[in-house]
Amino acid sequence: MANSSQIKDSEKSLTITIKTFFGLEQVLTEELNELGYKDVQLLNRAVQIKGTWNDVYFLNLHLRCAIAVLIQVRQFQIKTEDDLYKQCLKIKWHEYFKVDKSFSVRGAIFSDFFKNSQYPILVVKDAIVDTFRNAVGDRPDVNTKSPQIVIDLYVNNNQVTLSLNTSGLPLFQRGYRQAVGEAPLNEVVAAGLIRLSGWDRKSTFLDPFCGSGTLLIEAALLAAGIPSNIERQHYAFKNLANYDDALWNKLYDETQKRITKLPCRIIGYDINDEMVIKARRNLRALPIGRFVETASEPFERIKKPEDSGMIITNPPYGERMGENIEELYEGFGNWMKSEMSGWRCWVISSSESGFKSIGLKPSKKIRLYNGDLECSFRLFELYEGSKKNPSL
């Protein structure tokens, strides 16, 4: 890495904070454990580990349940508003990035020190600009829309944490989406659901409401051992002064990119032809695309492809006018009972009346968010023989 006094890559010297969505902290920890990171601290919508720049690059590429990988620049306490500026001015920002890079400060402020939550963000921005002016006689531009460098400010009462967001654009922007469906599931949420379900990556995976195919894609990439971000080009760490292109290329080259077959069947259906075309277009952009089976069919016509398997699905929530959500979920419940015995079926929805209409008792319920929408992710276990199916 570059010869910077602050950015040297000594053994596990970096505090790495990995952000995720509410409810996915535990599966993100499991994912880290699987990748060999055993010492993981659980936070609210985030986890923390110690690591190196090698880890930062690796995690940006390999994590499926993360939104952003941050490295801590400094943590300090403030007694007055002014302290924030003074402490920020002590940081050698010009060693982290060059003056020709645009930057933006983003923050989450939970503190009585600041009445206006935008104000501390402006203070940090000013301190960064002033550090550059003092050190190199010039200032970097601010770009709030598409900055090359993203600084993360977190204020909790009088405790301030400044970090570099090494991902930049959120990691759910995978780079594989060619076509967007009507209500696409967030890619990180999809990866999180698959982990939460406990799917073994070997048994048949079915999404009867596949839309543009997010769950199919995330399941196939997971089963194939190909990173979900394999098509992503953008990472903010590439804009840092210490960016090591050779290290990045080495990590990327070592990654699984191609497969000759999937270890399981992955099948998606949607009633809407256009959605199936979109799912296929998204799948084609990926090396797993040709192994995933898709067809345009209403769920009522789907026949059980194997004696057992896993359904993970995201049916309509009923936000659209004219949709009779109770009828749809009732039909779906009946189809599960009559057609899918021997299967485990996980459903994510924000519709409580929809869940009630399914007419089956869930054996697990997990609270989650899909964007701003509070949802529940529920497991219906469809035992062999309808008598054993616990109905509501």
Q: What residues make contact with ligand SAM under the rule CB under 6 A?
A: 181, 183-185, 208-209, 211-212, 214-215, 269-272, 275, 298-299, 314-316
If the CB atoms of residues 114 and 209 are measured against ligand SAM, the closer one turns out to be 209
Interior CA angle at 374 toward 354 and 110, to 5°? 170
CB of 296 to ligand SAM, least distance (A): 9
The CA distance from 256 to 226, in Å, is: 5
Q: Which is nearer to ligand SAM, 183 or 247 (CB)?
A: 183
Residue 206: what residue type? L
Which CB, 84 or 336, lies closer to ligand SAM?
336
Shortest Å, Cβ 312 to ligand SAM: 9
Which run of H or E residues covers position 223?
A: helix 214-224
Least spacing, CB of residue 223 vs ligand SAM, in Å? 18
Q: How far is the CB of 63 from ligand SAM (least distance, A)?
A: 20
- The angle subtended at Cα 209 by Cα 207 and Cα 211, nearest 5°, is 105
**Residue type (1 letter), 354:** G
d(CA 347, CA 378): 5
Reduced to 3 DSSP states, what percent helix, strand and coil does the chain have, rounded to the nearest 5?
A: 35, 25, 45
Which residue is it, tokens 């192994």?
291
Query: In terms of CB distance, is 60 or 314 closer to ligand SAM?
Result: 314
Closest approach of ligand SAM to the CB of residue 151, in Å: 32
SS3 108: strand
Grouping H, G, I as helix, E, B as strand and the rest as coil, residue 154 is strand
If the CB atoms of residues 142 and 373 are measured against ligand SAM, the closer one turns out to be: 373
Number of alpha carbons in the 13 Å side-chain half-sphere of residue 196: 28
Residue nearest to ligand SAM (CB): 211
CB of 167 to ligand SAM, least distance (A): 21
Nearest distance from residue 229's CB to ligand SAM, in Å?
A: 17
CB of 213 to ligand SAM, least distance (A): 6
Nearer to ligand SAM, 93 or 209 (CB): 209
| Pairwise CA distance, residues 189 & 64, whole Å | 9
Q: Which is nearer to ligand SAM, 51 or 316 (CB)?
A: 316
Report the residue number, 215 or 262, with the smaller CB distance to ligand SAM. Answer: 215
CA distance 149 to 235: 10
Contact in structure between 206 and 295 (CB atoms under 8 Å): no
**Comparison of 128 and 275: residue with beta carbon closer to ligand SAM:** 275
Q: Are 140 and 100 within 8 A, CB to CB?
A: yes
By C-alpha distance, which of 270, 292, 273 is closest to 283?
Answer: 292
What is the closest distance, in whole angstroms, from the C-beta atom of residue 267 to ligand SAM in the complex? Answer: 13
Phi, psi of 366 (to 5 degrees): -130, 130
